[in-house]
Chain A
Amino acid sequence: MLHIVNKSPLDRNALDTCLATAQPGGAVLLIEDGVYAATTGTTAAARLTQAMGQVKIYALKPDLDARGMSDHVLQGVELVDYGGFVDLVAEHPVCQSWL
Chain B
Amino acid sequence: MSEGQIKKFMYINRKAPHGTVYALESLEVVLIAAAFDQDVSLAFMDDGVYQLKKGFNTKGIEVKNFQPTYRALDDYDIQKLYVEKEALAARGLTEEDMCVPVEVRTRAEIGQLMETQDVILSF
Contacts and interface: CB of A to CB of B under 8 A. Distances in A.
Q: Do chains A and B touch in the complex (CB under 8 A)?
A: yes
A98 interface: yes
Contacts of A23: 108, 111-112, 114-115
B46 A1 contact: no
A43 interface: no
Given A20-B108, A99-B122, A1 B115 contact: yes
A13 B84 CA distance: 14
Interface in A66-99: 93-99
Contacts, number: 46
Contact of A17 (B14, B112, B117): B14
Contacts of B46: 13, 17
Interface residues of A, number: 16
A21 B122 contact: no
A21 B110 contact: yes
Q: How many B residues touch the partner, as a band? A: 20 to 34
B120 A96 contact: yes
Contacts of A97: 122
Interface of A: 1, 13-14, 17, 20-23, 26, 93-99
Given A96-B120, A97-B122, 20 more contacts: A1-B114, A1-B115, A13-B46, A14-B14, A17-B45, A17-B46, A20-B86, A20-B111, A21-B45, A21-B110, A21-B111, A23-B111, A23-B114, A26-B115, A94-B120, A95-B120, A99-B14, A99-B15, A99-B22, A99-B123
